[in-house]
Amino acid sequence: MNKLFSSASIGNCSIRNRIVRSATHSGMASADGYSTPELIEKLRELAINDVGLIIGGNTTVASEGRVADHMLAVDHDQLIPRLKLQTAAIQREGGRIFMQLGHSGAQLLLPDPGFGPSSFSIDGKRPYCREMTEAQIKYTINAFGKGAARAKAAGFDGVQLHGAHGYLLSEFLSPYYNKRTDKYGGSVENRSRMLLEAYGAVRTEVGEDYPVIVKINSSDFIEGGFSFADCLTVCRLLEKAGIDAVELSGGINAEGSKRKAAPRGDLKPEQEVYNREEAVIFKKEIGVPLILVGGIRSYDTAIKIIEDGMADFVSICRPLIREPDLIHRWHNGDYSRASCVSCNLCYIPVFSGKGLYCELDARIKSRQKTD
Ligand SMILES: Cc1cc2nc3c(=O)[nH]c(=O)nc-3n(C[C@H](O)[C@H](O)[C@H](O)COP(=O)(O)O)c2cc1C
């Protein structure tokens, strides 16, 4: 039996195979955060093409947590009916969809400086963010809970807390950004309090049986940042608290981070799976399903990850932007490598209001037309 295409569960959610589309902000929501027919079609294309679980793009739980224009939102009830259309479209095709619950923290839509655990500039270029008061922390934790309740009401099969890549929850985890001296800063237990309390608020709202997972950095890959030892401690706490799975990523956007969340540059086969070493240790130490993301580009690699037990699910982002039918072709015996070269040009249309597509492919096609 082909293990990559065998079904598996996250909590009580059964998924038709081991392939996850990692959260991908599309810039295709309406200006006020509603789901749109174009966004639904983009996601449905993945479900038609055999992706098991789609994790939607970063969805803000609070109006002050928007990362970008045309970002999906879940901060009020009127959003629910159109989100329902999204979940129904995926489930009709046999797919599953989780909502990624996020808050920008200091990576706020410019020019607002945003909020963070302490006052800092996310990358040395942006304005210094404002340090959150305890009341603002409580308000935001509550917003995560309410966002999850709305996601459940809209038919999402589960939710993912975005605790990676230097957004709010990741900023609290990271001693590089978090300089607080109260119960939300200092020791790793204190730095993880925001994430654990957000998880608690979500769990209270959605109940014990609803899948709740987290995306977390294996490390910030920066001196003085969140380390892999920290990551294991936090994952143990999350496991004890009842988390249903962990997606392991890595990197922040700060100048000097040795590895970004989506490193640029074509990956040679031996460079694939750049969170590999951490995954092997995670599987030995932590008892919840592991979703592994980062640089997975070939069928052989994907199936080996599952067969070797390095992870329970493989998670893919950029290759599915260039080839939405990648998983369908692997499923049907065309095992050639993903054509994505990790150039990161896909960020350009997403952040300039054009929506999600492979900019490299578009440039190649337009050149061919003029030749
Ligand atoms: C255009 C684009 C948008 C992304 N949006 C998100 C997001 O909303 N949430 C998130 O956790 N990661 C986001 N990521 C990071 C991916 O989920 C993934 O972790 C990263 O690209 C590494 O996986 P890959 O090598 O398969 O692309 C985004 C990446 C890209 C290229």
Catalytic residue check, 357: no
Q: Residue 7: CB partners within 8 Å, gap ≥ 6?
A: 14, 15, 16, 17, 52
Ligand 1 neighbourhood includes 267 CB (under 6 angstroms): no
Q: What is the C-alpha separation between 147 and 65, in angstroms, rounded?
A: 12
User: 310 C-alpha vs ligand 1 centroid, how far in Å?
Assistant: 21
- Ranges of residues in the chain with a pLDDT under 70 are none
Question: Structure tokens of 241?
Answer: 């608290």
User: 317 C-alpha vs ligand 1 centroid, how far in Å?
Assistant: 6
For position 2, what pLDDT does the model report?
92
Collapsing DSSP to helix, strand or coil, 247 comes out as: strand
Instruction: State the DSSP code for 17.
Output: S
For position 25, what pLDDT does the model report?
97
For position 167, what pLDDT does the model report?
97
For position 254, what pLDDT does the model report?
86
Which atom of ligand 1 lies at the shortest distance from residue 267's CA? 25
Ligand 1 neighbourhood includes 66 CB (under 6 angstroms): no
Q: What is the C-alpha separation between 17 and 369, in angstroms, rounded?
A: 38
Q: Residue 192: CB partners within 8 Å, gap ≥ 6?
A: 172, 173, 233, 234, 237
Domains identified in the chain and CATH numbers? 16-370 (3.20.20.70)
Q: Residue 159 carries which side chain, given as an amino acid letter?
A: V
Q: What is the C-alpha separation between 28 and 145, in angstroms, rounded?
A: 24
For position 126, what pLDDT does the model report?
87
Cis peptide before 263 (omega within 30 of 0): no
**Identified catalytic residue from 128, 139, 167, 357:** 167
Ligand 1 neighbourhood includes 59 CB (under 6 angstroms): no
| Minimum CA distance residue for ligand 1 atom 31 | 318
User: 218 C-alpha vs ligand 1 centroid, how far in Å?
Assistant: 15
**CB-based contact 32:76 (threshold 8 Å):** no
For position 326, what pLDDT does the model report?
98
Ligand 1 neighbourhood includes 57 CB (under 6 angstroms): yes
Which atom of ligand 1 lies at the shortest distance from residue 297's CA? 26
For position 206, what pLDDT does the model report?
98
Ligand 1 neighbourhood includes 317 CB (under 6 angstroms): yes
User: Mind listing the pLDDT tens digit for each residue in 238-256?
Assistant: 999 999 999 999 999 888 8
| Minimum CA distance residue for ligand 1 atom 22 | 294
Which atom of ligand 1 lies at the shortest distance from residue 340's CA? 27
For position 265, what pLDDT does the model report?
87
Ligand 1 neighbourhood includes 55 CB (under 6 angstroms): no
Collapsing DSSP to helix, strand or coil, 73 comes out as: strand
**CB-based contact 98:152 (threshold 8 Å):** no
For position 124, what pLDDT does the model report?
84
Question: Structure tokens of 298?
Answer: 């070939």
User: Mind listing the pLDDT tens digit for each residue in 146-186?
Assistant: 999 999 999 999 999 999 999 999 999 999 999 999 999 99
Q: What is the pTM of this model?
A: 0.98
User: 12 C-alpha vs ligand 1 centroid, how far in Å?
Assistant: 26
Collapsing DSSP to helix, strand or coil, 117 comes out as: coil
User: Mind listing the pLDDT tens digit for each residue in 223-238?
Assistant: 999 999 999 999 999 9
For position 371, what pLDDT does the model report?
74
Ligand 1 neighbourhood includes 25 CB (under 6 angstroms): yes
Q: What is the C-alpha separation between 1 and 23, in angstroms, rounded?
A: 28
DSSP, residue by residue, 176-239: TT----STTSSSHHHHTHHHHHHHHHHHHHH-TTS-EEEEEES---STTS--HHHHHHHHHHHH
Q: What is the C-alpha separation between 291 and 8, in angstroms, rounded?
A: 12
